[in-house]
Structure 1
Amino acid sequence: MSLKINELCVNCDVCEPVCPNKAIAQGETIYVIDPALCTECVGHHDEPQCVVVCPVECIDPDPDHPETQTELLAKLRRLSGEAA
């Protein structure tokens, strides 16, 4: 499933540059994750890098966007232009 940044975000700027899919951007008040781009780093890393670097642990699974590992990998392939 996609990840979501919650209200504990302190805008520390460490999550955005580590996202391999450019899914993280500054929102109106806190950083936000685009669920259409988030693959939880599947295909890039063993763990979501935003979660690894977040100093306040404000990144959670997004219950509005449930996806399996297989679905996340298929999304990565679509994003990178590869055939599924």
Structure 2
Amino acid sequence: EPCAVFQCRGCWAVLSDSLQLCAHEEGELGFLVCYRVTDCVIWEDSLTIGLEGALLGCAYNTLTCQSCGLTLGFILYSASRDLAY
């Protein structure tokens, strides 16, 4: 079975692979959901509240690359009705 490796676009650190992929969305947010990621992915303990766009009113933790500090994505803590599916 073909496999892909997901890398940071800033420094090419390996973040995960397609064997850990459990969902993807090509809509407004365009995201991938992985069961597991490498130690290169770190998440901030503090919650951020979305003030505009698709994350308006959502609470989330920001994911960043440990190697270069690039923002990679988020972990939703609470979501609007549109995103809660």
More helix by share: 1
TM-score normalised by length of structure 1: 0.28
TM-score normalised by length of structure 2: 0.28
Q: Which has the higher contact order (CA 8 A, sep 6+)?
A: 1
